[in-house]
Amino acid sequence: MSQSVPPALPVLPVLFEATYGGERHVGFGRPEDGTRQTLYRVAEGQVAAAFIATDGSATAIEAALTEGAETVTVTVGDPELRLLPPLLPTATGHALLSGFMGTHKKKWNGETAPEGGEFVPPKWFFKGFGDWVRLPGETLDVPAAPVALIEEPEVTLVYVNDDDGTPHYAGYTFGNDLCDIGLHRQDPGYNPYCKLCDTALTPWLFLGPPPRTVTGRVTIVRDGATAWEGSFDCGADALYFRVQDMAAHLFSFPAVRRPGQVNYVLLGADEASFHDGFRIADGDRIAIDVKSHGVAFENTVRYVSPAPLATPAATPAAGPTA
């Protein structure tokens, strides 16, 4: 009996940034642990600037970042090599993480937004600053008593604004927008609280238009055993809204067009473990395998109890005056 051959993964150019020896570098491709990788020394903001100064194509970006650059060859997995979220500025507050809600067709009876006419945008949320992003392998902290958490595998678009505030699309990566959907369902007005859970992004920046097809599988491990698993689809073809319409609407707001700012934009998630009746617990490990793109990452959820608030000492009562 002949065996079916799995479809080939898309061959897409990818870059990543990392610190090594205390300096910032850029690399190309997605090397496996233990392999040798050439890194190119870059200055702070140089990679983001390349997407503004060139047409953004893989060839132009690689030429802009490698010509005349100092190089170093490292072994992937070296503890001195620390990957970074794509284009993340060192300065706090110069990158924003936000996203759209209710974007999938299955939440719109399988339909897509009609062509023409006035665009009615999806709901949007602000997740945090770019330096709040967690990388694969890092813990995802959540409040100590969530109502019901949900993992959300999503495509994340990356933009950088030029000196005039015009956004330039750089590429896309993948993330897990962990949030407290139970709190949101108690009251949609609580959604800003619901989103105050850590988000993971992969360090790989895919150079190309937003992907039409993104499929994969989530596995949630508890006490060393699989507690839940299921598939997901978060590509543009699975969405009710057109990506370009959502992006154009978001960037009509000056607050996200500040000069030099990097924006990470989550495009929305498929149904997940919560919709299957599963509840994520403290210590669960969420593994997301984006099979269509050969990207796999995992993070452990950690419930965090806050320290008591520091209260100011009471002002002594005023005594009688002489």
pLDDT for res 91 = 83
pLDDT for res 311 = 77
**What are 122-169's pLDDT values in tens digits?**
999 999 999 999 999 999 999 999 999 999 999 999 999 999 999 999
What's the domain range around 217? Answer: 87-304
Per DSSP (E only), the strands in 167-284 are 167-176, 179-180, 200-201, 205-206, 215-222, 225-233, 262-266
pLDDT of residue 256 exceeding 70, the answer is yes
Q: What is the dihedral angle through the alpha carbons of 49, 55, 59, 64, rounded to the nearest 10 degrees?
A: -30
**What are 102-129's pLDDT values in tens digits?**
999 999 999 999 988 889 999 999 999 9
* 210 and 129 share one domain: yes
Q: Identify whether 30 is part of a domain.
A: yes
pLDDT for res 310 = 80
* 57 and 145 share one domain: no
What is the residue-averaged pLDDT of the chain?
93
**What are 165-203's pLDDT values in tens digits?**
999 999 999 999 999 999 999 999 999 999 999 999 999
Q: Identify whether 43 is part of a domain.
A: yes
In this prediction the pTM is 0.92
Which residues are CB-neighbours of 78 under 8 A, at least 6 positions away? 20
321 pLDDT tier (thresholds 50, 70, 90): low
Q: Identify whether 194 is part of a domain.
A: yes
User: Taking a C-beta distance cutoff of 8 angstroms, is the pair 180, 145 a contact?
Assistant: no
Strand, helix or coil for residue 180 = strand
1 pLDDT tier (thresholds 50, 70, 90): very low
pLDDT for res 10 = 58
Tokens of 318: 């005023």
- Look at residues 84, 111, 133 and tell me which one is the last residue of a structural domain: 84
Q: Can you tell me which residue has the tokens 């790989």?
A: 204
